[in-house]
């Protein structure tokens, strides 16, 4: 009986650790998107600001009062989220789709883990003063194109099409996903639950739109073999600003990104975490 109790306690501790990593990661993502959305909104209003991505948000966080402490917390949250996604990629605790769809989901989780590890490493490099701005999309595209010209173009095109596919998948999720099943909102009133779900859907769609633009530019860069045609998340936001209806369009997307930040904070608190 004592051995059984010890095993049960170990399982509870393990599950609690995974849940903590997930919630810390969602919260970190939420705060980074607050910064991205606010800066984009200020740009749309012509009050300074800039269009940026998660790396830019980390740098901006470091420049705030108590920036070092905030960046340490952000790095821990990013590494925690990476561990959470790696755990899902290996063990699939949600036991979702099987076959090709299941494999695609696991690959997506693995890529998310790698992305958040890279962001965590970037945060550490900022703390150490060795970031140098990091590797942006254009320089990465240039390296691929120069590495093996025919193969490099194919790889850039494949990356762009992958981002476009992810964007369309997220757009579909923004309207079809059963968020009320994924989130335990039972403690909220019906009105608050409805508002939380609608805000989450708007946020997912807004971020997907930016990824759709970024993926499209990667495909263009592959076709033209010109790395300057590639644009990351921040540059894609800037593209919206440069359209004929730039300020209102960028402002609307900025609000959507703030909605995505709210969605991440909702997930940090109310997400059902499968262990």
104-112's contacts with Cβ under 8 Å and 24+ in sequence apart are 108/166, 109/85, 110/85, 110/86, 112/81, 112/82, 112/85
HEC sequence for 188-253: CCHHHHHHHHHHHHHHHHHHHHHHHHHHHHHHHHHHHCCHHHCCCHHHHHHHHHCCCCHHHHHHHH
> What average pLDDT does the segment 40-64 reach?
92
Which of the pair, 132 or 205, is modelled with greater confidence? 205
* Model confidence pLDDT, tens digit, residues 80-125: 999 999 998 988 776 666 677 778 888 999 999 999 999 999 999 9
HEC sequence for 169-191: HHHHHHHHCCHHHHECCCCCCHH
Which of the pair, 185 or 246, is modelled with greater confidence? 185
274 class by beta-carbon count within 10 Å (0-12 exposed, 13-18 middle, 19+ buried): middle
Tell me what pLDDT residue 132 has.
61
Q: Is the pLDDT of residue 13 over 50?
A: no
Nearest to 213 by CA among 114, 137, 133, 272: 137
CA-CA distance, 117 to 83, in Å (whole number)? 8
215 class by beta-carbon count within 10 Å (0-12 exposed, 13-18 middle, 19+ buried): buried
Share of the chain above pLDDT 90, in %: 68
Please report which confidence band the pLDDT of residue 48 belongs to, taking 50, 70 and 90 as the band edges: confident
CA-CA distance, 180 to 194, in Å (whole number)? 9
Tell me what pLDDT residue 70 has.
96
Tell me what pLDDT residue 94 has.
67
Tell me what pLDDT residue 214 has.
96
* Model confidence pLDDT, tens digit, residues 170-223: 999 999 988 988 999 999 999 999 999 999 999 999 999 999 999 999 999 999
Tell me what pLDDT residue 143 has.
87
CA-CA distance, 73 to 88, in Å (whole number)? 23
CA-CA distance, 263 to 66, in Å (whole number)? 26
> Under the phi-then-psi rule, with left for phi > 0, alpha for psi from -120 to 50, and beta for the rest, what region is 183?
beta
Q: Is the pLDDT of residue 3 over 70?
A: no
CA-CA distance, 203 to 182, in Å (whole number)? 16
């Amino acid at each position: 009986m004592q051995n059984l109790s010890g095993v049960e306690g170990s399982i509870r501790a393990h599950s609690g650790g995974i849940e903590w990593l997930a919630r810390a990661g969602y919260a970190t993502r939420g705060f980074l998107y607050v910064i991205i959305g606010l800066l984009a909104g200020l740009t749309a209003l012509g009050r300074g600001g800039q269009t940026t991505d998660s790396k830019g948000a980390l740098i901006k966080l470091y420049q705030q009062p108590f920036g070092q402490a905030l960046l340490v917390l952000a790095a821990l949250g990013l590494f925690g989220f990476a561990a959470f996604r790696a755990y899902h990629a290996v063990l699939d605790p949600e036991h979702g789709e099987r076959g090709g769809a299941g494999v695609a989901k696991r690959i997506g989780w693995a890529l998310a883990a790698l992305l958040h590890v890279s962001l965590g490493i970037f945060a550490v490099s900022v703390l150490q003063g060795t970031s140098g701005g990091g590797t942006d999309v254009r320089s990465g595209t240039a390296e691929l194109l120069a590495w093996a010209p025919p193969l490099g173009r194919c790889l850039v095109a494949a990356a762009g099409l992958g981002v476009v596919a992810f964007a369309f998948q997220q757009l579909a999720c923004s309207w079809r996903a059963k968020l009320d099943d994924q989130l335990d909102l039972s403690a909220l009133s019906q009105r608050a639950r409805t508002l939380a779900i609608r805000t989450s859907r708007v946020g997912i769609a807004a971020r997907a739109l930016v990824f759709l633009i970024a993926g499209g530019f990667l495909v263009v860069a592959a076709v033209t073999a010109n790395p300057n045609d590639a644009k990351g998340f921040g540059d894609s936001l800037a593209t919206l600003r440069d359209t004929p209806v730039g300020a209102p369009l960028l402002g609307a997307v900025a609000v959507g990104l703030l909605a995505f930040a709210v969605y991440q904070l909702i997930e940090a608190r109310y997400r059902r975490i499968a262990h």
